[in-house]
Amino acid sequence: MANLTGQQLIAKAGKYHQAGKFSQAEKIYRQLLNANPNDLTLLRILGMLERDRKNLKAAVDWFVLAKQVSADDPIILAELALTLEQGGNPDKAMTIATEAINRKPTDISIAIFFAKMCLARGHATRAAKAIEGALDSDPNNPEAWHLLSMAANSTGTLPVPLHYAKKLIQLQQQDAQPYATLATAHRLNGNLDEALTSYDRSLERDRSFPEAIAGKAEVLESLGRTEEAEKILINAPENNSVLVALAKVRIARKLGKQDRAIQAIDSVMNQQLSPYHQSNLLMHKGRVLEELKKYDEAWKCWEDGNKLHGGTFPLTEHIKLVDTIIDACNEQLPQQYTQQDPAPIFIVGMFRSGTTLLEQILCAHQKIDAAGEVDQMLRFVSEKPYPECIVNLNPKWREIYIERLGSNNSYCTDKMPMNYLHIGLIKSLFPDAKIIHTTRNPLDTCVSCFANSFSTSHAYTSNLKELTGVYKQYQRIMKHWEEQYPGQIHEVPYESIVNDLEPTIKGTLEHIGVDFEPACLEFYNVRRIAVTPSADQVRKPIYSSSIGRHNHFAKHLNELIDLQ
């Protein structure tokens, strides 16, 4: 070994490393490091080696040392963030990853890594922004365009733009992934025939591609071809794909085969999965167990799933934000604009209060389009936080928002639930905007939040105490808006939709200013895919089983007692 150069020794160690002979590789790396204790490459390699052999604590130690030696080199920060993520420390991982992208926002490899972290947490807009900031350095990077496509498919804003996926197809015409990504965009836009065509093109290139198998099955189910969807999944090549497993769960539940749904989940739970995927599977398993009336087992799944992916929520800061908003909007703000088409309809309320269901009903009307969950108000208040956004209202925001809706119809809905925080800003920009507030039994709402997966920006949904705190602030600010804008906020209780659909919808359409259309009562026939936890609910007629849902879990709800 003494006759070998340093580069030759690294190459030799690298071969051991790739072959899984970690001890032999480590011995050589350490010998080289003894000669040069501050060699950043060796420190990084040793961290990667420990990570590869699942010794994550030791890997973190190496990357922390490399971080100190390198004065926070962005590549080292990214390696440390990845290791923390794998080690079950997602909050610290995201903090370090954010530091990495802030230090080198034009590095495409760091942007790609950061975007993946964001997408795993449901932060699609943030992921896209990171890639866009670095794309000029490598404008034809396929992975970057794939992540942009995934982000576009994940924002909840409709219609989903297709140009990202089409660009990816130009770059990788022979691969299955681009066609599956385009198919998913078509599916979300309700273009189900185009979605099937693109999924088939993906499968022509790789008949075992999980995203295409799962996506095609879900489209067929949406078209009412459930048995055909089940056949595709049964005949699919064996794999451990979470996507395929979740498609099997959905079809099995549709067919009343709950035992098969649990089997599909358990079949992939024994492999190494990210905390996000583990959590998502547990949340689905809990819902299947609930259908089997195994309520305590269901609750245990939701508890475990929330612990895996919940994160932490700054409740104190949220309360201060509500204070600031109320102070900034403590009187009716001057109306600076006149009505403009399309007139926006803002559907607001707590998550799981019926916003998706109401949107689906309203967009069955020929004069009403649906834009999904538009995050533009959140962008505005990020650009100019309260009270600045109110005191110095940007006159361009109105046009930006209308363009973002992308509708030529008379009316267009935006069902971003959290817009309940921004009703004052909304009324300043759009004095004639229709505000519709969906409400639901507080305990049913909170149980439904706890039983579903949300992005880490809504981490309060994973903790009943924090969920109670956020719910009280929601009640507080809605009381403020109702006093501020009397008669201008139309309340639609979820229970009224379920029990008295026709008069409830007639009253809502009257508030909007359009005539009733019978198609609104058959909303489940609209060929559009919801991208929220309510997706399955809005594709079938109204059912009442969700009313009083909390009663099955009463012994677990002590922390919600103040909401009764």
Domains of the chain, by residue range, sit at 340-563
Mean pLDDT of 12-41: 91
pLDDT for the residue 533: 47
pLDDT for the residue 345: 97
Mean pLDDT of 183-197: 95
Is residue 534 scored above 60 in pLDDT?
A: no
Mean pLDDT of 118-143: 94
Separation between Cα atoms, residue 395 and residue 117, nearest integer Å: 34
**Tokens at 453, concatenated:** 């997966």
Burial class of residue 436, CB neighbours in 10 A (0-12, 13-18, 19+): buried
pLDDT tens for residues 47-56?
A: 999 999 999 9
pLDDT for the residue 334: 60
Question: Which percentage of the chain shows pLDDT scores above 70?
Answer: 95
Is residue 45 scored above 80 in pLDDT?
A: yes
Q: Sign of the CA dihedral 142, 144, 149, 154?
A: positive
Going by C-alpha positions, the residue among 377, 370, 435, 361 that lies closest to residue 409 is 370
pLDDT tens for residues 207-221?
A: 999 999 999 999 999
Question: Which percentage of the chain shows pLDDT scores above 90?
Answer: 79
**Tokens at 332, concatenated:** 């009716």
Secondary structure of residue 141 in the 3-state scheme:
coil
User: Residue 337: which region, alpha, beta or left (left: phi > 0; alpha: psi -120 to 50)?
Assistant: beta
Check residue 374 and report its DSSP letter.
-
Q: What is the largest CA-CA distance in the chain?
A: 88
pLDDT for the residue 452: 94
pLDDT for the residue 337: 64
- 335 falls in which pLDDT band (50, 70, 90)? low
CATH annotation of 340-563: 3.40.50.300
Separation between Cα atoms, residue 9 and residue 121, nearest integer Å: 40
Rounded to two decimals, what is the model's pTM?
0.84
Mean pLDDT of 388-398: 92
CA–CA distance from 93 to each of 84, 417, 461 (Å)? 5, 28, 21
Mean pLDDT of 104-123: 94
pLDDT for the residue 311: 72
pLDDT tens for residues 421-444?
A: 999 999 999 999 999 999 999 999
Separation between Cα atoms, residue 400 and residue 395, nearest integer Å: 9
Q: What is the mean pLDDT of the chain?
A: 92
Mean pLDDT of 279-306: 97
User: Which of 26-35, 257-266, 336-345, 453-462 has the highest mean predicted lDDT (pLDDT)?
Assistant: 257-266
Mean pLDDT of 381-387: 95
Listing DSSP states for 194-216 in one string gives HHHHHHHHHHHH-TT-HHHHHHH
Separation between Cα atoms, residue 11 and residue 27, nearest integer Å: 13
